[in-house]
Structure 1
Amino acid sequence: MPITSAGILMYRLHATGLQVLLAHPGGPFWRRRDEGAWMLPKGELLPGEEAETAARREFEEELGAPAPGPVHPLGRLRQRGGKWVEAFAMEGDFDPVALRSNTFELEWPPHSGRRASFPEIDRVAWFAPAQARAKILASQAQWLDRLEEGLARGW
């Protein structure tokens, strides 16, 4: 059975227009990547867990703040590696300075025998839709369209 994750695409209606909050993955593999590397804060569902519950849990674990408030389903997408991700839109106003991500350990450098700790998310930022499309993983870009469609329908 394919791995399933869930995440939240936070948005705000700023004085300059719509903005979305994207997260940049931490760790050495992503350090030098920017365009096409950002994503929704997301993570795997626990056994028997509902997607919305997992999305809220992962938001809090990866950003260090709860995800209160109503959500709007954005549907599921299959990422390049085969993982399914279910996303939800939520209006909010997270301060990127408040980022407190959980960490993971990895042998680094490879084959060195040394373990290093890295944040799952090393930074978050607000982007206008056009800039977000350049920053987000290609496999997640469709959620930006779905968000704009939902807002146009009057969520």
Structure 2
Amino acid sequence: MSSEPAPISSAARDALERELADLHRERGAVAATLKDSDMQVGDEADAADELQRADDLTRLDDRISEITTRLEQADVAGPPPTDVVGVGSTVAVRFADGTVETFQIGETATDADPTLVTADSPLGRALLGHHVGDTVSYDAPDGPASAVVVSLGEPRDSRD
């Protein structure tokens, strides 16, 4: 992906904000155990446990920083585009068999959301930068495939 800040959907923003809140809670709990362990003199197992908690704290701080930066960049980028497929776009595509499906273009897969296509997946990469009416080609699990961009923006009725 480019180095330009990319917008995110409101659903992705909500998921990141929930994860950030969870990380802050977890960080508080881990930090509290480190403070308590400073007052105790223990054996090597206690020292190893404290080192593990310190590593956990570093991991949590790194992820908190990553999410905070991503949310700030999304604010700079503004809302997802509605004239061209980009990260955060909702796009309806018609496949070769005539079926139309609506997807959200996201950065990372979360849970098992069948309506999310990551920007680094074959279909996601093919769709990025395209407009309504464009035909895209991509490598599907069963071989080469193509799809037509039917709409951008709000989800469209799958009967279209």
With normalisation by structure 2, the TM-score equals 0.27
With normalisation by structure 1, the TM-score equals 0.28
Larger Rg: 2
More helix by share: 2
More strand by share: 1
